[in-house]
Structure 1
Amino acid sequence: MSVFTIDEVKKTFTNGEVAEEVLKGVNLSLKEGEITALVGASGSGKSTLLTIAAGLQPASDGKIWFEGQNINLMNQEQIRKIRASKFGFIFQFAHLVPFLTVEEQLTLMLDVSETKLKRQEQQREIDNVLKLVEMDHRKNAYPSSLSGGEKQRVAIARAIIHKPKVLFADEPTASLDSKRSKDVMQLIQRLTKTLNITTLLVTHDEEMLAYADRVIKMSDGLVS
């Protein structure tokens, strides 16, 4: 079932008097329990499309439908609430808070997402998610003591701790070696299926496409 639909989305950037149309009317539907991968050359528009879909920047034209609402018509506070409660984000780098333990990183995310769980319930959710990403033995560790792969596993745990409907992953393996990249993608694949998440992945690594249910190629601001 499609839960997220991108309808004729366009994006134009203006630099002085020069206008550059980066997205030229993109149509795309994302389904529950599936990983949709966006691939394409640098400048093809794939990262721009992801950030627009995630509400991180507005489209110049078009509609982005999620749960019956057009995100592109929402104000900043409405978008913020959806991002905090319904969306999860994984980026190339983990961006963990250096002075917080693994457990505290997830507690902070639960507080920001306004899940309104009591502390005991939060602890239970944190323990469950850390087991899912195989990091429960490191819950008291600080980021400085974690390997690159471990940091990304914590970042994934942080992205799903509030049970998002949609997961946006922008080059999640770009900073990792081949083995750790495969481990991270296997984890994202397993969580997408187990938790029935809708995952939109941007990657330049063709080996990672094996973990996607659909591969969408972007070229000159269009999909094929």
Structure 2
Amino acid sequence: MATFELRQVAKSFPDGEAEIRVLKGIDLTLAEGQLTALVGSSGSGKSTLLTIAAGLQEASGGEILLDGEDMTKMPPEKLRSIRATRFGFVFQSSHLVPFLTAEDQLALMLDVSGSRLDAAGRAKQVAEALGLVGMEHRRKAYPASLSGGEKQRIAIARAIIHRPRILFADEPTASLDSERSHEILGLLRKLTQAFGMSTLMVTHDGEMLPYADRVVEMRDGRIEGHTWRTANGIGT
């Protein structure tokens, strides 16, 4: 069942008296429990598409529908609320707060998302999220003492602790070695399926594509094609 849909999404930037068209009428639907990978050469528009879909950048045209409601017509305060409560974000860098422990990073996200859990409920949810990414034993650790892979696991736990509907991941393995990259993508796929999230990921690493349910190829601001991977043989 589709939960998120882009219709004829366009993005242009002024260039003197001319105009640079970065996105040229993108149609894309994300489904629950599926990980969609966006691929393409530098300048193809994939990162721009992700940031516009996530409400981090305005589109120049088209519609972005969440449960049938057009996000491009929402007032800024409602869009901010959706980003905080219904979206999750994982980036190339973990962007962890340096003076917060792993568990405090997640507790902060609960605050941002407006959680109404009491202290016991919050502690339980934080512990469960850390356990899902295999990091409960590092709950008291500060970012400076964590490896790159551990930081990304904490970032993923922070991104999913409030059970978002849509997860956006922008080059989540770009700063990791091959072994850690496979661990992180396997984890993202597992959580996407377990929580029924719709995950949209930008990646340049072809080795990571087998973890995706669908690969969307972009070129010059357009979608060139889709590849579905219904039986990729990767364990969860």
* TM-score of the two chains, using structure 1 as the length reference: 0.99
SS state at 2:64 partner: strand
Partner of 1:211: 211
Equivalent residue, structure 1, for 2:102: 102
- 1:81 Cα deviation (Å)? 0.1
After TM superposition, give the deviation of residue 197 of structure 1 in Å: 0.7
Q: List per-residue Cα deviations over 1:121-160 (Å, max 9, x = no partner).
A: 1111001111100000000000000000000000000000
State the alpha-carbon separation in 2 of the partners of residues 98 and 35 from structure 1: 30
Gapped regions of structure 2 (runs ≥ 5): 226-236
What displacement does 1:119 show? 1.4
Gaps of 5+ in 1: none
Aligned with 2:192: secondary structure? helix
Query: Which whole-Å CA distance do the structure 2 matches of 1:142 and 1:18 have between them?
Result: 48
Task: For 1:39-78, list aligned pairs within 5 A.
Answer: 39-78=39-78
**Alignment-mate amino acid for residue 92 of structure 2:** Q
**Corresponding residue for 1:183?**
183
1:1-25 deviations in Å (ceiling 9; x for gaps): 1100000000001133231000000
What is the match of residue 229 of structure 2? none
Counterpart of 1:159 in structure 2 is: 159
Instruction: Give the 3-state SS of the residue equivalent to 2:196 in structure 1.
Output: coil
Deviations 1:81-137 (Å, cap 9, x if unpaired)?
Answer: 000000000000001000000000000000011122211111110011111000000
* More displaced 10-residue stretch of structure 1: 66-75 or 140-149: 66-75
- Per the normalisation by structure 2, the TM-score is 0.94
Which stretches of structure 1, 4 residues or more, deviate above 3 A after TM superposition? none
Q: Does 1:35 align with 2:35?
A: yes
Count of residues in correspondence between the two structures: 224
Name the CA distance, whole Å, in 2 between partners of 1:158 and 1:60: 31
Identity %: 58
Partners of 2:12 and 2:195 lie apart in 1 by: 35
SS at match of 1:150: helix
Q: Deviations over 1:25-58 (max 9, x none)?
A: 0000000000010000000000000000000011
Q: For residues 43 and 25 of structure 1, what CA distance do their matches in structure 2 show?
A: 16
Within 1, Cα distance between the matches of 2:179 and 2:74? 41
Taking the aligned partners of 2:18 and 2:87, their CA distance within structure 1 comes to: 34
What does residue 136 of structure 1 align with? 136
Over the aligned positions, Cα root-mean-square deviation in angstroms equals: 0.6
Alignment of 1:115-130 (within 5 A): 115-130=115-130
Q: SS in structure 1 opposite 2:111?
A: helix
Q: For residues 75 and 58 of structure 1, what CA distance do their matches in structure 2 show? A: 12
Once residues 189 and 98 of structure 1 are traced to their aligned partners in structure 2, the CA distance between those partners, rounded to angstroms, is: 27
- Matched position secondary structure for 1:38: strand
Please name the residue that 1:90 is paired with: 90
> What one-letter code is carried by the residue in structure 2 that aligns with 1:219?
R
| Residue 4 (structure 1) aligns with | 4
1:165-219 C-alpha deviation (Å, 9 max, x unpaired): 0000000000000000000000001000111110001000001101000000000
SS of aligned partner of 1:175: coil
Displacement of 1:76 in angstroms is 1.1
Q: Distance in 2 between the 1:183 and 1:126 partners?
A: 21
